[in-house]
Amino acid sequence: MGIQLSIQKLTKRYKTGDGVSDISLDVGKGEMVTLLGPSGCGKTTLLRSIGGFLDPDAGDILIEGKSVLKAPPEKRPTSMVFQGYNLWPHMTVYDNLAFGLKIRKVKKAERDQAIEQVLELVRLPGAGKKYPGQLSGGQQQRIAVARSLLLKPAVLLLDEPFSALDAKLRHEMREELREIQADLGLTMVFVTHDQEEALSISDRIVVMNHGHIEQIATPQEIYDEPKSLYVAQFIGKMNFLKGVVAEGGIKVGELSFPNPNKLSGKVTVAVRPEDIQFGGGAESRLQGTIKQIMVLGHYAEVSVDVQDHGTVRAFLARDEVRSLHHGQQVSVGFAKILAYPEQ
């Protein structure tokens, strides 16, 4: 897999202090990379710099081996799908889609064929004669994606494109986009602050924090092995408990765990809700009281007040909670933990 996009030591800082510093990232041909982080972490700054909508203070951006820094947005081999659909309401869907092709002087017969094909691809065949106002939000977003695909970009940039849609539609659009991306072998850089979206759609995730990259890894690695406490706090649900290194191991109350990273002193122990176990020998568990049971479809979230450690949340199969009730005394253990220096 060749490198399609190379960001090299990119810096763009605003007077407010926001922006990005010294960012380096390579994206392979046909790869879908997601920039993930809270508002103000620099992900949109990075995306807009790639698209040519911002001029970096330092660094370089190469697409297919060539620097694009001096090229304006319309001359870059990129196309951007924004949060808003940015469709012209007074023009039909066909005219909205044809606009970019006309600028590129594509002949009418070619235009018609390309538009027909792309409408099939985004599952809106025959929508060319409609106006944007006659379409739902999800359909308008499909047209916005189709317009970008027509330009056959070397890199497709997407800035939180589904954030205005309801949860069910967002889920459907994610699946469709992933299918289109795989079918066409597109290289995509996708911005979101939605961790579930990032985990479900990406080949690799770039977790950003205050203009820096915290971790670049596959969704599985990010979920199973978050490199820092920040990433652990940001990706998926997590329980955090106070621990201490003693006798070569990590102690949480009476429980002891290995210390592969050779941490010392006080630590923050992180445990996924699905790694919390109920019952077993009391001597190898922490004692607690069930505070709440919420059935969430095929699984349940059980909150337990654990002595000296606050509330711990566990995910259990729905059948497993039938014998549990509010106020019940239980013992809990951890199948596996992660540990970080206390901050």
Q: Among 230, 258, 287, give the residue marking a domain's end.
A: 230
Whether residue 204 sits in one domain with residue 86: yes
- 45-60 pLDDT per residue, tens: 999 999 999 999 999 9
Whether residue 101 sits in one domain with residue 209: yes
Q: Which amino acid is at 101?
A: L
Whether residue 292 sits in one domain with residue 143: no
Segment 151-161 shows an average pLDDT of: 90
Contacts of 106 (CB under 8 A, 6+ apart): 114
Q: What is the pLDDT of residue 227?
A: 94
Whether residue 71 sits in one domain with residue 218: yes
Q: Among 230, 250, 277, give the residue marking a domain's end.
A: 230
Q: What is the pLDDT of residue 87?
A: 85
Whether residue 223 sits in one domain with residue 116: yes
Q: What is the pLDDT of residue 280?
A: 61
Whether residue 306 sits in one domain with residue 223: no
Whether residue 247 sits in one domain with residue 222: no
- 89-98 pLDDT per residue, tens: 898 998 899 8
The more confidently predicted of residues 5 and 168 is 5
Which two three-digit tokens encode residue 319?
């059948």
End-to-end CA distance of the chain: 39
- 180-219 pLDDT per residue, tens: 888 889 999 999 988 888 999 999 999 999 999 999 999 9
- 262-296 pLDDT per residue, tens: 898 999 999 999 999 887 655 568 889 999 999 98
Q: What is the pLDDT of residue 121?
A: 82
The parent domain of residue 94 ranges over 3-230
Q: Among 230, 251, 281, give the residue marking a domain's end.
A: 230
> What total number of domains does the chain contain?
2
Percentage of residues of the chain with pLDDT beyond 90: 48
DSSP string, 238-303: -EEEEEEEETTEEEETTEEE--TT---SEEEEEE-GGGEEE-S-GGGSEEEEEEEEEEETTEEEEE
Whether residue 267 sits in one domain with residue 150: no
Whether residue 269 sits in one domain with residue 140: no
- 129-151 pLDDT per residue, tens: 898 889 888 888 888 888 888 88
Tally of CB atoms within 10 A around 171: 15
Tally of CB atoms within 10 A around 97: 25
SS3 annotation, 146-212? HHHHHCCCCEEEEECCCCCCCHHHHHHHHHHHHHHHHHHCCCEEEEECCHHHHHHHCCEEEEEECCE
Q: What is the pLDDT of residue 206?
A: 96
Per-chain mean pLDDT for the chain: 89
Residue 165 has pLDDT above 80, yes or no: no
Segment 302-325 shows an average pLDDT of: 89
Q: How confident is the model at residue 297 (pLDDT cuts 50, 70, 90)?
A: confident
Percentage of residues of the chain with pLDDT beyond 70: 98
Which two three-digit tokens encode residue 260?
């592969």
Whether residue 126 sits in one domain with residue 59: yes
Residue 1 has pLDDT above 80, yes or no: no
Q: What is the pLDDT of residue 283?
A: 54
CATH (domain of 325): 2.40.50.100
Which two three-digit tokens encode residue 234?
């940001």
Whether residue 276 sits in one domain with residue 180: no
CATH (domain of 202): 3.40.50.300
Whether residue 249 sits in one domain with residue 206: no
Contacts of 297 (CB under 8 A, 6+ apart): 318
